[in-house]
Amino acid sequence: MFSPSDLDIPIVAAPMAGGASTPNLVVAVNEAGGLGFLAAGYKTPQALAEQIVEVRERTERAFGVNLFIPQAPLTDRAAVELYRSVLALEYPAADFGAIADTDPDWFDEKVAVVIEHHVPVVSFTFGLPPVDVVERMHAAGSFLIATVTSVSEARQAQGLGVDALCVQGPEAGGHRATFATREEPGTLALGELLIAIRAVVTLPLIAAGGIHSGGQIASLLAAGAAAVQLGTGFLRTDESGATRAHQNALVDPSFTETVVTRVFSGRPARGLLNDFIVAHDAKAPPEYPQVHHLTKVIRADAARRNDADGLALWAGTGFRDARTGPAAAVLGALWNDTQFAVVA
């Protein structure tokens, strides 16, 4: 079975749903000595299976697949309908579709795909899988990682029997991995959160959130992380599938800060502050993935028009340092900087 200590370079390219994580990115990071991740979120089981087969054909090294844990059913339909009517006034041509009570994102089918393909590393976000999934995946030889954002979540994950934790700090780009949609995510900075979790669990820890320099990586490894996980840091690489508008926004001087917002999906997520967030932040109810599906047509339209102000520009606090070039070179440069960093 995989172990983080097998990695030549203890850097993980984060799973990034929505298009950024491509098989090309996974293969490039793997072949350079790190760990690449496919993002199963929002994908059909068939599309996931095709990507797994492609990655397997192109690298012999261990790779990961990340799964979204299904969320509790819709609790406040009226609030989502109200948000839909607000958006409908602004986007009269948009077809928002029906509001579903539940959307498990084909979780069971994707679990079956992952087991069938004996995926070496599987991580989970937005909660914990049922114990039978843990057992079946372990029987298939997978190394399991639960993403956690607090000491309490870390304890629960260790109790379930996973093999490692991805500790996600508040600096992270994209969705916070909190186990419950309505919960407000913690604000303890990654370095402190890592130390707090290290004190109560014995599992290997992978630190994630706002990491953009060798100095940070060296400090987190010195504080007990077995590896670090970067998402935003790979968004501008040659192999990234992020839209051009998203990549350009990371270095566009008109985008100056990131904020945590529920505006696009109903779940707290960190992205560049843009016009859509300014206009709607206070109106979005905490219902995921219903709000995600509601804003999908708006985001798709903005993507067609190359309009960064209508997109979810997920980005961590270190966004300005996201480097361009081949992912292997970005990984190598970060690791080189880590070796030369002086840890206080």
Q: Which of residues 315-334 bind ligand FMN (CB under 6 A)?
A: 316, 318
**Contact residue for ligand FMN among 41, 45, 170, 185 (CB under 6 A):** 41
Is 142 near ligand FMN (CB under 6 A)? no
Alpha-carbon Rg for the chain in angstroms: 19
Phi and psi dihedrals of 151, rounded to 5?
A: -65, -40
Q: Which of residues 151-170 bind ligand FMN (CB under 6 A)?
A: 168
Is 206 near ligand FMN (CB under 6 A)? no
* Contact map string, positions 298 to 317, toward ligand FMN, x by CB under 6 A: ----------------x-x-
Complex with ligand FMN: residue 105 or 309, whichever CB lies closer: 105
**Contact residue for ligand FMN among 64, 209, 266, 286 (CB under 6 A):** 209
Q: Which of residues 65-84 bind ligand FMN (CB under 6 A)?
A: 66
Please report how close the Cβ of residue 113 comes to ligand FMN at its closest, in angstroms: 16
Closest-approach residue to ligand FMN (CB): 316
Is 208 near ligand FMN (CB under 6 A)? yes
Q: Which of residues 224-263 bind ligand FMN (CB under 6 A)?
A: 229-233
Is 129 near ligand FMN (CB under 6 A)? no
Q: Which residues pair with 228 in a beta bridge?
A: 11, 207
Is 17 near ligand FMN (CB under 6 A)? yes
Q: Residues in the site for ligand FMN, rule: CB under 6 A? A: 14-18, 20, 39, 41, 66, 125, 147, 168, 171-174, 208-211, 229-233, 314, 316, 318
